[in-house]
Amino acid sequence: MLFCILAVFMAGFLSALFYDRHRSILLPAISLLFLTIIAYFGSLTGTVLDGATIVQQVKWVDTLSIQLAFLVDGLSLFFALLVTVFGLLIFLYAHRYMEDSPQINRFAGYLLLFSGSMLGLVLSANLISLFVFWELTSLSSFLLIGFKHKDEDSRRSARQALLITAGGGLALMAGFILLEIATGSGYNLTEILSQSEVVADSGLQSAAIILIGLGALTKSAQFPFHFWLPNAMAAPTPVSAYLHSATMVKAGVYLIFRLNPLFQEAALWHHLLGAAGALTMTWGALKAFQEDDLKRILAYTTVSALGILFMMIGLGGEAAVNAAMVYVLAHALYKCALFMTAGNIDHQTGTRRISQLSDLSRKMPLTATTVALALASMAGVLPLLGFVGKELLYDALYHAADPFAIVYLALLFLAGALFTAVSVDILYNAFFKTGKLRDQPIREGQLLLTLPPLLLAVVSLLTGIAPGWTIAPLLKWSAASIQDFAPTMKLKLWHGFNFVFLLSLATLLTGVGLYFLRKWLRRAQKPPWASADFLYDQLIAGSEFVAQYITGKIQNGYLRRYIATVIITFSMLLLAAMAHGQVFQSFSTAPLLEGLQIYELVILALIVLATGFLFRVRSRLIVTATFGIIGYSIALAYTLFSAPDVAITQFLAETLTLILLILIIHRLPSYTLKTSIARLKYLPVAILFGAMMAVTAYVMLLQEKDTGSQAYFLEQSIPKGKGQNAVNVILVDFRALDTLGEITVLTVTMIGIIALLKFKPNNKKA
């Protein structure tokens, strides 16, 4: 499994470098890679259908008992096949769709980076690796949404998607940490899922549900984070077809599916998902009905469909879970097909607006067939898979004991009717209505633009006709992974004339009626301030204003104020820590006077007198010399206290500082001595800092020392470090990596300073 993920990443790396020049080689090679991965997962189907779970582990952070683990059960196998099968079709489609783009290398690399990230996410059996892949999907989707980086809308949409999904990712990580604290399982997903009672009794369950719920809601564009997905339609159509119908937005769905066994007894889990899903489902369907752009219509119906899935998991129970699993597949099939046909239409006609399209059934018959099948599935028309999924949804809600089920059922009926109205609107006005495009030379798209969506639409038809033996065997084990029950999914197309069928029929009739009322209903526009997108913009603008205000107050350009702020904050924290540790209750200065030598007092007096002399000096040169006296006196003290290495370092530092100051002193502005009050206002800060550092050093001196590490370094410096100076050996051998890091930081800083000095703008020319 790890090899499959790494192979996709490697393919993305090679594509980013060579795809434009070697596409004739890379296209079949990448297609073969996808087929190989599909075949590999297909070979595991028999094992999974027997009820087994396949786990592969690799040592990762052994000291923390964290393993890089991957698992294949019914749920992960289903989503892995979804990622790879749809990934293959989308890659073939994108090859033709983006063939004229000068940035096809970058696009292919980003797309495969996303594929590998999504594959790793659905296979992860460790919460740390799941989070890493989760964030990689956010990063790669940011790159794909902002692919047209010269376009302001693309940049804004990409930033918005990244801020929301990555912010949710941080909440998700916090939730994972709480689960680890509660279970102590080394972030092992399988172990965590088996400890639902431990999590419930830990007192951390509610916080974990809220944090993990935030991660899932943001990723799958659920209320109140629903607005980023329609804006992400600024991405190229292959991106929308892959990320925003079949894969990325399903990551949040996968997460709640995967963690449902852990929280299925928690009321907060069901209320959070159910309420968010129901609101999103209704809002998305209403917004889709008001749109004219094909991709935005499909985006809003995607948001609504994802809301249905969240709502069903919030409902809970075997019937709801089974219905959700079937609907995941039905939605992926028809929505991916519709996105690709929308791109095909845009590619051939130059527009995606329904009001500007007409008579496409004669000019693009294959596309018309695909759209008709896919829209029929979205509306829930017999015998498409969407019909099977819709009946299962209705049946689960109709027989549910949940008090909110009747509300969910009514809202689902409304959403289904709006889906039907949207389907009729697209099919009739774009394909069968005679209009402006009647005499224009429009023709069917190329094979790779028409065949992949047609294939998905046909699969939706075939699986709808015979769901029992085509999809039920795998989906029942996928559903069993979501909730603890025996895999008993029984699917068939026709259940007779019952209440659920009549409800489905009523949904279609209501949808047709809504279509005829569309002009009146579309006039009802909400005010701009009620838009979540508007509120997001105001939030960002407000954050920028607050940041600028705080920056203006804190970063005012006065270095002395910066230093004073740091010193005061540090001293207060140190004082609080000492007070909490009751340091001052046993504090005594008596040991300080024991064994005090006269030369130590002389050095101390010299330092104090030189420091006081600084307040009276008016010459920068004398100030510099006085600083040198203080520094050399401190170095002398180091020497007397048997610290020659530190003393040498201090001598060198003081000498270099003096030389540098003398070299630049003539370039500095005239030196003005402040008034007495101005000079003394920072004196309390200096005294506070000096006192706290002195007390800290003294307290540390009195602490009992753990001589274990000290003895080890002294004993091993000669045999292992080949040096008699233990301090030097520690720096260059035992802690060589730390020293290298410090050297690297200094080197980078030096390069930055040189760059600033060398490449500064020429003011004379300006």
pLDDT digits (tens, 9 = 90+) for 633-666: 988 888 888 778 788 888 898 898 888 888 887 7
Which pTM does this prediction carry?
A: 0.79
Band (598; pLDDT cuts 50, 70, 90)? confident
pLDDT-wise least confident of 67-81, 167-181, 518-532: 518-532
Closest to 364 measured CA to CA, from 432, 430, 437, 445: 445
% of the chain residues with pLDDT over 90: 42
Q: How many CB atoms lie within 10 A of CB 171?
A: 18
| Residue 363 near residue 349 (C-beta atoms within 8 A) | no
Domain residue ranges in the chain: 266-524, 553-724
642 dihedral zone (left: phi>0; alpha: psi -120 to 50; beta):
left
Render pLDDT for 235-251 as a digit per residue (tens, 0 to 9): 899 999 998 777 888 99
Render pLDDT for 560-586 as a digit per residue (tens, 0 to 9): 788 888 888 888 888 887 777 666 665
pLDDT at 255 over 90: yes
pLDDT of amino acid 695: 81
Q: What value does the mean pLDDT take over residues 215-238?
A: 90
Q: What value does the mean pLDDT take over residues 338-352?
A: 90
Task: Give the integer Cα–Cα distance in Å for 460 and 457.
Answer: 5
pLDDT of amino acid 11: 92
Q: Classify 72 as helix, strand or coil.
A: strand
pLDDT at 37 over 70: yes
pLDDT of amino acid 764: 47
pLDDT of amino acid 673: 58
Q: What is the rounded average pLDDT for all residues in the chain?
A: 86
pLDDT at 671 over 90: no
Render pLDDT for 477-491 as a digit per residue (tens, 0 to 9): 888 888 877 777 888
pLDDT-wise least confident of 183-197, 338-352, 551-565: 551-565
Band (440; pLDDT cuts 50, 70, 90)? low
pLDDT of amino acid 765: 45
More confident residue, 756 or 398: 398
Q: Classify 97 as helix, strand or coil.
A: helix
Q: How many CB atoms lie within 10 A of CB 384?
A: 28
Q: Classify 471 as helix, strand or coil.
A: coil
Band (708; pLDDT cuts 50, 70, 90)? low
pLDDT of amino acid 525: 57
More confident residue, 52 or 458: 458
Task: Give the integer Cα–Cα distance in Å for 692 and 312.
Answer: 60
More confident residue, 278 or 702: 278
Q: Classify 450 as helix, strand or coil.
A: helix
Give whole-number Cα distances, 730 to 711, 712, 713, 745, in Å.
12, 11, 7, 19
pLDDT at 668 over 90: no
Q: What value does the mean pLDDT take over residues 331-342?
A: 94
pLDDT of amino acid 558: 77
pLDDT at 218 over 80: yes
Q: What value does the mean pLDDT take over residues 606-614?
A: 85
pLDDT-wise least confident of 421-425, 482-486, 706-710: 706-710
Q: How many CB atoms lie within 10 A of CB 44?
A: 18
Gyration radius of the chain's alpha carbons? 34
| Long-range contact pairs involving 737-741 (C-beta distance under 8 Å, separation at least 24) | none
pLDDT of amino acid 248: 84
For 67, list phi and psi in degrees, rounded to 5. Answer: -110, 145
Q: What value does the mean pLDDT take over residues 17-26?
A: 86
Render pLDDT for 726-751 as a digit per residue (tens, 0 to 9): 777 887 888 788 888 889 999 999 99
Q: How many CB atoms lie within 10 A of CB 560?
A: 10
Render pLDDT for 91-139 as a digit per residue (tens, 0 to 9): 999 999 888 888 899 999 999 999 999 999 999 999 999 999 999 999 9
For 724, list phi and psi in degrees, rounded to 5. Answer: -85, -20
Band (171; pLDDT cuts 50, 70, 90)? very high
What per-residue string of b and e applies to 262-287 under the rule 16 or more CB within 10 Å gives b? bbbebeebbebbbbbbbbbbbbbbbb
Closest to 240 measured CA to CA, from 300, 166, 283: 300
Task: Give the integer Cα–Cα distance in Å for 302 and 342.
Answer: 14
Render pLDDT for 63-96 as a digit per residue (tens, 0 to 9): 666 778 899 999 999 999 999 999 999 999 999 9
Band (698; pLDDT cuts 50, 70, 90)? confident
pLDDT at 678 over 70: no
Band (391; pLDDT cuts 50, 70, 90)? very high
pLDDT of amino acid 622: 84
pLDDT of amino acid 766: 40
